[in-house]
Amino acid sequence: MKERKIGEFRVGEIGFGCMNLSHAYGVPPSPEAGKSLLLEAVDLGITHFDTAALYGFGRNEELVGPALKPVRDKIMLASKCGMQGVDGARVIDGRPETMRKTLEDSLRRLETEVIDLYYLHRWDKNVPIEESVGEMSRFVEQGKVRAIGLSEVSADTLRKAHATHPIAAVQTEYSLWTRNAEIKVLDACEELDVAFVAFSPLARGFLTGIDLDPANFAEKDIRRHMPRFQEPNFSENAKLLPEFRAIADDAGCTPAQLALAWLLHKRPFIHVIPGTTSIAHLADDVAASGVELASDSMRRVEELINQTTISGPRYPAGTQKEIDTEEFTS
């Protein structure tokens, strides 16, 4: 797999988002199946693994850390603080004392002495970003964290944080149907030499080429509450998929590979971290590293799926208030 830079690390441009193995999209696989998939990811050449204290309220870290411990020196392990489960509820808390406890809990669950890339999962708007990042800088000084990242922040917040301590990566949702990063954050990352890590690069399964039926989503599938998967938005969005599949066919790749390759062609500092519970889908994703897209394919797919052709916001109103990313004006 081709490699790209994140801080001091060089990792495969396609990483693995581990959330699906414990959280968010219905019933997760068994721990044994999850471990097998993680080890298969290593065999496929993946060296960038992304988890968080939030995922499964700690269970994801408990799975990922021990599973990858035998290859710990061959991978870059990323986790996150600032948003975690408290008494069964998701809580955003960027206070230094909370972050210190979260870090110690994560190190224990991951069975590691240091986390390579540690993100502020969400900026707690009740705490100055300089204060949260300042505490994270002390984690680096203590040798418990190697590099600091931010998730779902604006360019202005990135600049403030970067002035406090160098930021190695910004992680934000970015795909053909979520283009907010193109407003300012990508330019800021390029200027500051910050890697950009795109989560949900396959639009939460929408761009995989698999026919989705939101009516069949599991009861706890987070997509049930996302406007783009609700009617009438989903039916309108689904009308774009036949042409999307046709563009992939013309490019000689699968729909998932088209979506991932499009991102990798946009900027040389973009990384993608698709998630899956299927080894077959994982292998398909990894193969996107070898897909070369012609300018005509890039143009066609960008014109087909973008912020003006997709129906519905990416988050419900309550969740939207929690993030700091720039938004397109209507």
Per the prediction, the chain carries an average pLDDT of: 96
**Is the predicted pLDDT of residue 250 greater than 90, yes or no?**
yes
Tens of pLDDT along 187-225? Answer: 999 999 999 999 999 999 999 988 899 999 999 899 999
**Ranges of H-type helices in the chain:** 31-43, 59-68, 96-110, 129-141, 155-164, 185-192, 233-238, 241-251, 255-266, 279-286, 295-304, 317-320
For residue 7, give both structure tokens.
């801080």
Q: Residue 267 has what pLDDT?
A: 98
Tens of pLDDT along 50-88? Answer: 999 999 999 999 999 999 999 999 999 999 999 998 888
**Are the C-beta atoms of 94 and 101 separated by less than 8 Å?**
no
Integer Cα distance of 290 and 211 in angstroms: 25
Q: Residue 310 has what pLDDT?
A: 98
SS3 category, 90 = strand
Q: Which of the 8 DSSP states describes residue 105?
A: H
* Omega cis (within 30) before 232: yes
- The residue ranges of every structural domain in the chain are 3-320
Helix pair angle (59-68, 31-43), 10° resolution: 50
For residue 210, give both structure tokens.
């698999």
Q: What is the CATH code for 3-320?
A: 3.20.20.100
Q: Residue 23 has what pLDDT?
A: 84
**Is the predicted pLDDT of residue 40 greater than 70, yes or no?**
yes
User: 25, 55, 119, 174: which is the annotated catalytic residue?
Assistant: 55
SS3 category, 201 = coil
Which percentage of the chain shows pLDDT scores above 70?
100
pLDDT confidence band for 26 (50 / 70 / 90) = confident
**Is the predicted pLDDT of residue 148 greater than 80, yes or no?**
yes
Question: Which phi and psi angles does 77 have, rounded to 5°?
Answer: -105, 125
Question: Which phi and psi angles does 209 have, rounded to 5°?
Answer: 90, -5
| CB neighbourhood size of 188 (10 A) | 21
Which percentage of the chain shows pLDDT scores above 90?
95
Q: Give the distance, in angstroms, between the CA of residue 16 and the centroid of all CA atoms in the same chain.
A: 9
Q: Give the distance, in angstroms, between the CA of residue 37 and the centroid of all CA atoms in the same chain.
A: 18
For residue 102, give both structure tokens.
């979260």
Can you give the length of the chain in residues? 330
Sequential DSSP letters for 109-176: HHT-S-EEEEEESS--TTS-HHHHHHHHHHHHHTTSEEEEEEES--HHHHHHHHHHS---EEEEE-BT
**Is the predicted pLDDT of residue 181 greater than 70, yes or no?**
yes
* Catalytic-residue membership of 118: no
For residue 127, give both structure tokens.
């705490």
**Is the predicted pLDDT of residue 330 greater than 80, yes or no?**
no
**Are the C-beta atoms of 11 and 41 separated by less than 8 Å?**
no
Q: Residue 87 has what pLDDT?
A: 84
Q: For the residues 105-121, what does the mean pLDDT come to?
A: 98
**Are the C-beta atoms of 223 and 214 separated by less than 8 Å?**
yes
